[in-house]
């Protein structure tokens, strides 16, 4: 068993054991409080440039399988756990977690006090780190300190699709790929901007009667509208929303022309297009147990979340209003445009992993497209 260390930019070092791929991993160290769903988390493109500490101590128990992937590969740069199961126990398992990490070149560390690490990040904030099996603690800390932070990084454009493509596959809750099929006779056409999308979003749109054309991050509003969509969907993604090249101006040009629905990074970019500003949270919201209140109805949904930036409610002005708030810290979790058919939520109504409380928002988007007809 190889020894390994996790070194943070503030000089804190955690010693443990290496697992997964050999080598060194770097990135922003963040924690996720989900009790299940590690494969969906690893393959969520919103984790580009980040190393994930799972707060639940047991990981890998049910293995991995193709049906649970949210993209074509893992995007997290490192995986930090207390303990992992070397032999999974599930009829759906196709591969163990360590073999999965090795195959995809993801470096991991286990055997560290993840509770202590989580409390440390919660107190001092998310920060850059290094996982390595070689090198002195001082050298690893120095490398962590030299890494660029997440602010100002346009990671979404970097991982966006290079070419447009069509999507019609439904089955968001299918247990295997064989159960998923194209939805027949879709009623609506949606253009989805790919800033790091999760497949569950596209499947839920298909299940709601939509065929989807996924377009690259830099697609102009003119090109998107030339596809004659009934609505435009703004996806999740990694990095700083204010740094995504051209996104603010593009979405601003779409407002008022078609219904617009944004999730996570898409919600933040929608807010920017409406004249608001965003800021980096101290340690972000990542997990499947975040309470969000709908201010119009008073209803509380338990939601899945993964973001390190948020919308500044004081900057919204007269073009939009706050529609949802986080009950833990009062941050903005949803907005509605007042002069256009457009809304966005900071959380993940598609879950994957997490509760399904907020999936009705896809129906709301469909209803907006129906009304426009």
Do 70 and 188 reside in the same domain of the chain?
no
Does 278 reside within a domain? yes
Query: Do residues 37 and 185 both lie within one domain?
Result: no
Which residues are known catalytic residues? 264, 348, 350
Cα atoms found within 13 Å of the Cα of residue 43, Cβ hemisphere only:
22
* Statement to judge: residues 242 and 325 lie in one domain: yes
Domain count, the chain: 2
320 shares a domain with 181 = yes
Quick one: pLDDT at residue 183?
85
| 247 and 132 fall within a common domain | no
The verdict on residue 237 lying in a domain is yes
**Interacting residues of 105 by C-beta distance below 8 A, sequence separation 6+:** 21, 23
Given 145, 170, 185, the domain boundary residue is 145
| 267 within a domain of the structure (yes/no) | yes
CATH of the domain at 355: 3.40.50.880
Do 53 and 123 lie in a common domain? yes
Question: What pLDDT was estimated at residue 1?
Answer: 83
Give the C-alpha separation, 201 to 192, whole Å. 10
Q: Quick one: 128 and 175 in the same domain?
A: no
**Last-in-domain residue among 95, 122, 145:** 145
Domain that holds residue 287: 155-372
**356 contact partners, CB below 8 Å, separation of at least 6:** none
Q: Do residues 140 and 282 share a domain? A: no
Residues 36, 173, single domain; the answer is no
Q: Domain for residue 150, yes or no?
A: no
184-229: pLDDT as tens digits: 889 999 999 999 999 999 999 999 999 999 999 999 999 999 999 9
**Structure confidence at residue 185 (pLDDT):** 87
Whether residue 316 lies inside any domain: the answer is yes
Q: Is 299 part of a structural domain of the chain?
A: yes
**Average pLDDT value for the chain:** 97
Choose the final residue of a domain: 122, 145, 168. 145
Three-state SS for the chain is CCEEEEEECCCCEEEEEEEECCCCEEEEEEEECCCCCHHHHHCCHHHCCEEEEECCCEECCCCECHHHCCCCCCCCCEEEECEECCCCCCCCCCECHHHHHHHHCCEEEECCCHHHHHHHHHHHCCEEEEEECCCCHHHHHHHHHCCCCCCCCCHHHHHCCCCCEEECECCCCCCCHHHCCECCCCCEEEEEECCCCCHHHHHHHHHCCEEEEEECCCCCHHHHHHCCCCEEEECCCCCCHHHCCCHHHHHHHHCCCCCEEEECHHHHHHHHHCCCCEEEEEEEEEEEEEEEEECCCCCEEEEEEEEEEEECHHHCCCCEEEEEEECCCCCEEEEEECCCCEEEECCECCCCCCCCCCCHHHHHHHHHHHHHC
**Which residues does the chain have with pLDDT short of 70?**
none
Residue 160 belongs to a domain: yes
Whether residues 129 and 159 share a domain: the answer is no
pLDDT attached to residue 373: 82
Residues 331 and 294 in one domain: yes
8: domain CATH number is: 3.50.30.20
**Is 271 in the same domain as 321?**
yes
Beta-carbon neighbour count of residue 64 at 10 Å?
Answer: 26
- What are the angstrom distances between the C-alpha of 54 and each of 95, 219, 277? 20, 35, 30
**Is position 39 within any domain?**
yes
């Amino acid at each position: 068993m190889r020894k390994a260390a996790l070194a943070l930019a503030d000089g804190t070092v955690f010693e443990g054991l290496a697992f997964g791929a050999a080598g060194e991993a770097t990135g922003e160290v963040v924690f996720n409080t989900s009790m299940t769903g590690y494969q969906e988390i690893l393959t969520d493109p919103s984790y580009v440039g980040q190393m994930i500490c799972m707060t639940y101590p047991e990981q890998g128990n049910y293995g991995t399988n193709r049906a649970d992937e949210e993209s074509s590969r893992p995007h997290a740069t490192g995986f930090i756990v207390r303990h992992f199961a070397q032999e999974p126990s599930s009829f759906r398992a196709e591969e163990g977690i360590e073999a999965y990490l090795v195959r995809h070149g993801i470096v991991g560390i286990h055997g560290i006090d993840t509770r202590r690490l989580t409390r440390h990040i919660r107190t001092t904030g998310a920060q850059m780190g290094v996982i390595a099996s070689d090198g002195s603690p001082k050298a690893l800390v120095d490398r962590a300190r030299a890494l660029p932070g997440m602010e100002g990084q346009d990671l979404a454009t970097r991982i966006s699709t290079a070419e447009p493509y069509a999507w019609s596959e439904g089955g968001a809750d299918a247990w295997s790929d064989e159960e998923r099929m194209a939805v027949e006779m879709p009623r609506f056409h949606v253009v989805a901007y790919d800033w790091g999308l999760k497949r569950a979003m596209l499947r839920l749109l298909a299940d709601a009667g939509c065929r989807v054309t996924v377009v690259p991050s830099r697609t102009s509003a003119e090109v998107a509208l030339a596809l004659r969509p009934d609505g435009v969907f703004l996806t999740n993604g990694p990095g700083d929303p204010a740094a995504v090249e051209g996104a603010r101006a593009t979405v601003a040009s779409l407002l008022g022309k078609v219904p617009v629905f944004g999730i996570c990074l898409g919600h933040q970019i929608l807010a920017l297009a409406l004249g608001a500003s965003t800021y980096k949270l101290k340690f972000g919201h990542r997990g499947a147990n975040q309470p969000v209140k709908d201010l119009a109805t008073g209803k509380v949904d338990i939601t899945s979340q993964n973001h390190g930036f948020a919308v500044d409610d004081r900057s919204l002005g007269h073009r939009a209003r706050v529609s949802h708030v986080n009950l833990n810290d009062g941050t903005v979790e949803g907005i509605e445009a007042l002069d256009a058919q457009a809304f966005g939520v900071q959380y993940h109504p598609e879950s994957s992993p997490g509760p399904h409380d907020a999936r009705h928002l896809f129906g709301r988007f469909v209803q907006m497209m129906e009304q426009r007809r």
